[in-house]
Amino acid sequence: GDVMYAKMVDAARAAGALVTPKLERGAVPPLGIPGLVARDRVEVGEVLFKIPALLHISPASCQKFLPELYTAAVSVEAISPARRKEAALGTCVSAVLAAAASGCDTEAPWPPLW
């Protein structure tokens, strides 16, 4: 929970992200759903996060870091041409999540934090 969030924030900052210290992992009543909560006042227009493009999970980054998988996914003729990039993005995200779940991300072709 909190330890993993702290590690993620540290890694994000090391990769050039801005993450305000005003947020922390937590939950508030009445629902108690885990997420991010403000521990200090947040001003209107204040920047809470700024994530470098390298860390965005997008069709462009999937094409860059997983080119063979991306190309195969956008080439599936059974998928509507208008939806192929979306399908490829989902395919790439699934591959990243599967690698993370199996602990095999030490030599991953994608950037840290994906």
Read off the pLDDT of residues 75-107 as tens digits, 9 standing for 90 and up. 999 999 999 999 999 999 998 888 877 776 556
The token pair that represents 40 in the structure block? 């200090």
How wide is the angle at C-alpha 114 spanned by C-alphas 88 and 11, nearest 5°? 165
Q: Write out pLDDT tens, residues 5-26.
A: 888 899 889 989 999 999 999 9
Say if residue 81 is preceded by a cis peptide, omega within 30 of 0.
no
> Whole-prediction pTM value?
0.65
CA dist 1 and 4 (Å) reads 5
Tell me the one-letter amino acid at 53.
A
For residue 1, give every residue at least 6 positions away whose Cβ sits within 8 Å of its Cβ, in sequence order, or none. Answer: 25, 34
